[in-house]
Structure 1
């Protein structure tokens, strides 16, 4: 079990360790990257917009002048982009951690599909991360690293059934978001089961940030510049909300705490706010049969078979 004396403001020395963070240009991804870099890690910041990536890297370097940070174009809604980014990342040294953070938080009003033909929220939040983790599995194994999938409080307060992941019927923006987070949680837990069964030295963990809002987060040019109205409205929710910086605490602890374990679900101590602690897996994501079906769907939808798991299946025959 993880220690009780964890201090989010005093992370262990991460010098010599490499982490890739998806969706690094703002929000949780930026602050997770900032916290990792501040502890001495080499951080690969990723995003789909080159200008925003440049801005985010410069903002991070203003906070941590000696940070070891590089950028990598990656759009998790585009499987071609996922494979290209993974090929670049694989060409370097091993990875110690992969934070699967990028995602659509405010889905479109009407159902949209990607160029690959998948519903855009499910593709961005779940399918792309499944494919990326599979493509980077060898690099993670080389670093004996771990992957952290980002879940959400929404899976507790709105426990939907994951029957139609692409929402070809009954699409709503809220349903699209919640189902995508049920999927990331179920995939993260299923990944750990399969990696353990194949004796692969990689831990898969799920973490959620609680209720983290931009209006309660310090302003950083190009990263977080909420209006006065947003600050006022978000501060009205102060008892049940926290900053994006604090929301990132849980993701970072799951990624770097040596005593965090594969298969765990992490969240803030008070549910929506607080220090990062192990939490209870949402009921809807505990169904191992559902997770296995979802895994098989992602495998066929992305054309990605995780390498060690493929070898393990072949060996068992």
Structure 2
């Protein structure tokens, strides 16, 4: 970042380039008149695709009009968009910061691995570019702008650290804004919890209604016409399975999930992959020598 230049921020997400959360974040950043804003986001919703990338097929990138920003809609995943946006094929230089979001929902605990939003930030981290994954809690659409505005001081502070070459290079940030944005209690540094949203499967028949899975990983009841489902061609073929949430959250002091529920904006540093917990490492450190001791010569 040059001293005389305005910081450049590239935005991506997994809800798609037309998502209200992304547009609210662009609007909030541009309202400060402090940043050059770029957008490189999926051309359609790509929620819960994790870090999926496009490998064998070409991508298309189309210019999209977003007032005040240079924007491209890409026929790929969030990780694709982050990678392409940093390739210098669409933009002439690297951004100072990548922000993935703001999306509806919450990204806490182990189910971060499912998140395309987090993957967009993680891909930037892989490229050596500071990144923030950002979600706006389970808020209404009109709260996205408030969530973005609540995060502006954090974004400004991160860019200051980057400019002064003090920002750590071995992590990226996952930020969750609570449901009640107006009454949020401020920022709090948290750790990734062990909470997880487990997924089950249910056969959809004429007797049970379907639903649609949201990017928040919660279920919303929706009308379902069994005739719209693919019908079995043989008696051995099942008609259709529908995903449903069957898990819950683990309450851990100081964790992202618990702190978010307490009304704080949670800031959780993440690495490329979550390391094993200390007790597991301790166990395997003492266990591995016993394996070697008892291994037969033919097995080595």
Q: Tell me which interval the TM-score lies in, with the shorter structure as reference length.
A: 0.3 to 0.5
Structure (1/2) with the larger strand percentage: 2
TM-score, normalised on structure 1?
Answer: 0.40
Q: Choose 1 or 2 for highest CA Rg.
A: 2
